[in-house]
């Protein structure tokens, strides 16, 4: 049985139920029950038309729930719940469902959870395990999100930047439990890029692919963090890189630059370099300038300072840090790196140690601690 196919059908099936008169929350619940039924029966008897089967079973589940609650409303029933599955409408509501699940009124954590469940077709248990929270907690989060958008019609114009940001958040979570969130984000972003004509959707997919292509080289034995400059580039997925570059080139040709395209361009320049020493840092600085114009983000300015330090020397990089808030995440680690490049080894060692104490993950803390020991030994 193809579970990936099942998940891909979920948003379209929810859309059909909503068009037949179901509210979003009830439709989503009914489709989840149909998925469970499919997982139980399909291994022995998979239907010829998977989408029609899911629609038929989910619609019956929805009507059963309405009857059980004795809360029938005046609605036009499009098909007889007891009859065979009719023809599946050609209208694809998947893109509208993306917009609904990433509605601007939802907090990011709720939008992410609802997108993974309603668009991604994942169970509450899977999502909870990926985010390392109890299943009951995740269920409450999803229920609150569904209540919040209960009155929003499926055909209301959506906000693509919000959808892209939600998928970017999913990707950045990486992987946890038995669910690879990075791979799931790529699957959803690929679907969105197909549905949408916006170059930023392709730019986000390109960015994800270019980063994900380096996945196997990012950690060493025992989960040890391996910096980009030290990664074994023979482990990089060249086919994934090629696909990301092609998507990026196509998006850039549309001449509607956005922040994900700019980020993908930076990632592509890193991926294109045969060795760390051959990285085109001058072009990377130019792309950071573009990204800064688009976002004004202090994090972008911090990353740009690293690139300036590589392109124009440590002192130029230190100058680029001027006026940045030292409380920014990774500021102290960047300052330590630039101080080391400038030859201030004793100060760099102290800064690495300070950054280690403020690290938010064990892998990052251990990496910075090793950096501090290495530079202190050199000093």
DSSP assignment string, 99-128 = HHHT-TTS-HHHHHHHIIIIIT---HHHHH
The verdict on residue 124 lying in a domain is yes
| Structural domain boundaries enclosing 126 | 94-196
Number of neighbouring beta carbons within 10 Å of residue 63: 18
The pLDDT value recorded for residue 81 is 40
Do 339 and 377 sit in the same domain of this protein?
A: yes
Do 71 and 116 sit in the same domain of this protein?
A: no
> pLDDT tens digit string along 296-352?
999 999 999 999 999 999 999 999 999 899 999 999 999 999 999 999 999 999 999
Average pLDDT (112-131) is 85
Do 87 and 107 sit in the same domain of this protein?
A: no
Nearest 5 degrees, angle CA 243-CA 256-CA 91? Answer: 70
The pLDDT value recorded for residue 24 is 86
Q: Look at residues 92, 115, 142 and tell me which one is the last residue of a structural domain.
A: 92
The dihedral region occupied by 371, where left means phi > 0, alpha psi between -120 and 50, and beta the remainder, is alpha
Rounded to the nearest 5 percent, the helix, strand and coil shares of the chain are: 70, 0, 30
What total of structural domains would you count in the chain?
Answer: 3
* Residues 165-198 as b or e (16 or more Cβ within 10 Å = b): bbbbbbbebeeeeebbbbebbbbbbbbbbeebeb
Q: Look at residues 196, 212, 229 and tell me which one is the last residue of a structural domain.
A: 196
Do 28 and 64 sit in the same domain of this protein?
A: yes
The pLDDT value recorded for residue 158 is 66
Average pLDDT along the chain: 87
Do 19 and 66 sit in the same domain of this protein?
A: yes
The verdict on residue 225 lying in a domain is no
Do 70 and 135 sit in the same domain of this protein?
A: no
Do 120 and 188 sit in the same domain of this protein?
A: yes
Do 192 and 100 sit in the same domain of this protein?
A: yes
Do 58 and 104 sit in the same domain of this protein?
A: no
Cα 247 → chain centroid = 17
The verdict on residue 212 lying in a domain is no
Do 134 and 101 sit in the same domain of this protein?
A: yes
The verdict on residue 238 lying in a domain is no
User: What is the percentage of the chain residues whose pLDDT exceeds 90?
Assistant: 50
The answer to whether 320 touches 308, Cβ cutoff 8 Å, is yes
Average pLDDT (202-230) is 93
Do 100 and 88 sit in the same domain of this protein?
A: no
Do 122 and 172 sit in the same domain of this protein?
A: yes
Q: Look at residues 92, 111, 141 and tell me which one is the last residue of a structural domain.
A: 92
The verdict on residue 136 lying in a domain is yes
Q: Which residue has the higher pLDDT, 203 or 43?
A: 203
Asked if pLDDT for residue 50 goes beyond 80, the answer is yes
List 176's β-bridge partners, or say none. 179
């Amino acid at each position: 049985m193809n579970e990936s196919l099942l998940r891909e059908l979920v948003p379209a099936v929810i859309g059909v139920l909503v068009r037949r008169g179901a509210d979003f929350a009830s439709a989503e619940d009914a489709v989840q029950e149909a998925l469970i039924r499919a997982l139980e029966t399909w291994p022995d008897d998979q239907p010829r038309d998977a989408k029609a089967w899911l629609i038929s079973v989910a619609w019956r589940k929805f009507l059963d729930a309405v009857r059980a609650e004795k809360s029938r409303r005046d609605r036009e029933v499009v098909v007889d719940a007891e009859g065979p599955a009719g023809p599946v409408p050609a209208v694809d509501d998947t893109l509208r469902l993306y917009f609904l699940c990433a509605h601007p009124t939802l907090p990011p954590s709720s939008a992410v959870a609802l997108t993974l469940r309603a668009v991604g077709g994942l169970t509450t248990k899977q999502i909870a395990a990926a985010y390392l929270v109890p299943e009951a907690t995740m269920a409450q989060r999803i229920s609150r999100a569904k209540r919040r958008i209960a009155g929003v019609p499926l055909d209301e114009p959506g906000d693509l930047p919000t959808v892209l940001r939600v998928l970017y958040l999913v990707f950045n979570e990486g992987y946890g439990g038995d669910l690879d969130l990075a791979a799931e984000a790529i699957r959803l972003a690929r679907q969105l890029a197909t549905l949408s004509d916006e170059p930023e959707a392709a730019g986000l997919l390109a960015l994800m692919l270019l980063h994900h292509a380096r996945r196997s080289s990012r950690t060493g034995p025992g989960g040890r963090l391996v910096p980009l400059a030290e990664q074994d580039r023979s482990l990089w997925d060249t086919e994934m890189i090629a696909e990301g570059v092609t998507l990026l080139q196509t998006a850039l040709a549309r001449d509607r630059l956005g922040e994900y395209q700019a980020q993908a361009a930076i990632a592509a320049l890193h991926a294109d370099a045969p060795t760390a020493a051959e990285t085109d840092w001058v072009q990377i600085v130019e792309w950071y300038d573009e990204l800064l114009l688009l976002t004004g983000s202090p994090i972008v300015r911090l990353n740009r300072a690293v690139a300036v330090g590589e392109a124009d020397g440590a002192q130029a990089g230190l100058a680029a840090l001027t006026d940045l808030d030292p409380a920014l995440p990774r500021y102290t680690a960047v300052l330590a790196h630039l101080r080391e490049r400038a030859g201030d080894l004793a100060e760099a060692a102290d800064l690495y140690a300070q950054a280690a104490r403020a690290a938010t993950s064990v892998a990052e803390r251990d990496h910075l601690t090793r950096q501090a020991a290495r530079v202190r030994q050199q000093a």
